[in-house]
């Protein structure tokens, strides 16, 4: 019988630590039907803006709507690709340049499904989740992040 899936919290306060990522990978060692993982890590870039240099991004979200939408995206991707596992973590609050703010992790028997699903998930997360990044500048001002 197929397991019923429920909305999960995807939000993490602050940066996503490399230890959390390592731990998450290690958690899959007992799932021996997995043959390939795909991981995307979003990192805060020190962009040069006309108004100043980015030193951090402060993320806020319409959390309830984002979790509902993330669940819908999860279900779509699970029905489209033969995946064993899927994990999404997005930071909230202030994340400094060089730190990780997005961690998307897919696993499947064979690499292609994991890679394609991971790519599609990242695109949909950026386009469809009500999350906003405020880029904090070294000039003490800020600009609102625009996704390309």
CB of 132 to other proteins, least distance (A): 4
| Residue given tokens 């992040």 in the structure block | 145
CB of 70 to other proteins, least distance (A): 10
Taking the least distance from each CB to other proteins, the nearer of 74 and 90 is 90
Taking the least distance from each CB to other proteins, the nearer of 86 and 102 is 102
Dist. CA 47–CA 44, nearest whole Å = 9
> CB count, 10 Å around CB of 135?
22
CB of 145 to other proteins, least distance (A): 4
CB of 28 to other proteins, least distance (A): 23
Taking the least distance from each CB to other proteins, the nearer of 83 and 125 is 125
Dist. CA 97–CA 45, nearest whole Å = 5
- Where do contacts with other proteins occur on this chain (CB under 8 A)? 42, 59-62, 64-65, 68, 90, 101-102, 122, 125-134, 144-147
Dist. CA 12–CA 16, nearest whole Å = 7
Taking the least distance from each CB to other proteins, the nearer of 67 and 115 is 67
Report CA-CA distances (Å) from 40 to 52, 116, 121: 28, 11, 10
Dist. CA 26–CA 132, nearest whole Å = 31
């Amino acid at each position: 019988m197929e397991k019923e899936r429920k909305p999960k919290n995807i939000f993490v306060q602050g940066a996503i630590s490399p230890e959390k990522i390592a731990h998450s990978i290690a958690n899959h060692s007992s799932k021996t039907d997995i043959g390939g993982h795909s991981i995307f890590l979003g990192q805060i870039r020190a962009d040069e803006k006309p108004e100043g240099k980015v030193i951090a991004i402060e993320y806020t979200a319409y959390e309830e709507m984002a979790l509902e939408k993330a669940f819908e995206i999860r279900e779509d991707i699970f029905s489209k690709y033969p995946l064993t596992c899927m994990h999404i973590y997005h930071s909230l609050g202030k994340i400094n340049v060089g730190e990780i703010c997005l961690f998307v992790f897919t696993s499947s028997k064979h690499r292609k499904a994991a890679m394609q699903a991971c790519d599609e998930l990242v695109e949909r997360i950026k386009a469809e989740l009500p999350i906003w990044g405020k880029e904090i500048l070294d000039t003490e001002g800020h600009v609102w992040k625009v996704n390309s």
